[in-house]
Structure 1
Amino acid sequence: MAGGNDQVEVKPKNLNIVWSEDKRYWKRDDETAELLQVCWLEVTGSAKVRPGNRYKISFEVSLKDDAFGWSGCPVSVMAKIGKKGRYSWKRVKLPDQLSAGNGRFSIPDEDFTMDVPPNGNVAQEELYFGLYEIWSGKWKGGLIIHKVIITPV
């Protein structure tokens, strides 16, 4: 990250998405990743961060008109600093007021932040993050991932 106030956007092409190479489950291009159908949602990535800063993490997504399987199915956003860091996580339900086809929204819809220790340890200059729904076993689809936004706060 160049300056102290630089926001990082991670595009879907730079995310690790379980089953994304199988065209039965995902449709992916440089700008979006569209979930066709899965029962195991696991999307992960990482970004460089600066020691001593706090970062807000959010996934910018939308639901297609024919989205299914999300009702009562919470998703979790997880993050940690450095490969050996401890995960922090936030479990959220997709906002009830947002129905399929009503535009983009953020997961989570409220602040989810991580503090980077100020000691300057190179191993702690990487923020690892993920979006998961692996517990319900329900088939779901129609989620479009536009980007992950990492913002210094």
Structure 2
Amino acid sequence: MQYLHHNRNVSTPDRQQHTKIEGDQVIVNALALDITHGGDERYWHIDEESRSAELKRVSWLEVTGSIDMIHLEAEATYKLEFKIRMKPGADGWNECPVYIMVKPGKGKKFIWVKVTLNQNEGEQRIPSDVQFTTPLSTVDDKVSFALLDVWNQRYKNGIRTR
């Protein structure tokens, strides 16, 4: 099994420079992701030097991204995970499920799972058990993915990604 990790959040024109392959992992850096309200310092702090994003306060959590399938092996199975750090004082995550979603190419349906975050301080992986298999041909196709809480409407803060 191979892993597709989300490391951070933000949007830049050249996303490919923020995607790298390490062994059997494809790591997508924060600067290659789209964050709803990511450009507004009231809600998110984006640090381009450390290539990280810190959630200040939102009720609508939407972090999305995509990678070209050319970076993935054909007919291989991948698992989607997000890596985050809960900062001291993080709030709003108790009993607040988030959804991890992946769409493995054109014409495919989204695969999603609901998870509950651990509000304890420190780095953690959000395991999702969301697995997908790439098609025989990975040319001219993308894998889209998301970390979402757009239904709860509770304010949340204190997540840092890198």
Q: Partner letter of residue 130 of structure 1?
A: A
Higher strand share: 2
Asked if residue 60 in structure 1 is aligned to residue 83 in structure 2, the reply is yes
Gaps of 5+ in 1: 147-153
Q: Tell me how far apart the structure 2 counterparts of residues 72 and 2 of structure 1 sit (CA, whole Å).
A: 34
CA distance in 2: counterparts of 1:134 and 1:2, whole angstroms: 29
> How do 1:23-34 and structure 2 match up within 5 A?
23-30=41-48, 31-34=51-54
Distance (Å, rounded) in 2 between the aligned partners of 1:54 and 1:16: 24
Q: What displacement does 1:28 show?
A: 0.8
Q: Which amino acid aligns with 1:114?
A: F
Equivalent pairs, count: 138
Contact 1:13 1:29 in 2 (8 A): no
Greater RCO structure (CA 8 Å; 6+ sep): 1
2: CA distance between counterparts of 1:42 and 1:104? 20
Runs (4 or more) in structure 1 with deviation over 3 Å come to none
Aligned to 2:149: 133
For the 8 Å contact 1:83–1:128, the answer to whether it is kept is: no
Taking the aligned partners of 1:79 and 1:39, their CA distance within structure 2 comes to 22
Equivalence for 2:100: 77
1:122 matched to 2:145 = no
Deviation at 1:46, TM superposition (A): 1.1
| Percent identity between the two aligned chains | 36
- How big is the alpha-carbon RMSD for the aligned residues of Structure 1 and Structure 2? 2.0
Give the counterpart letter for 2:31 in structure 1. Answer: K
Which residue identity is paired with 1:13? L
Q: 1:25 to 1:2 in 2, by over 3 A?
A: closer
User: Which secondary structure does the structure 1 equivalent of 2:129 belong to?
Assistant: coil
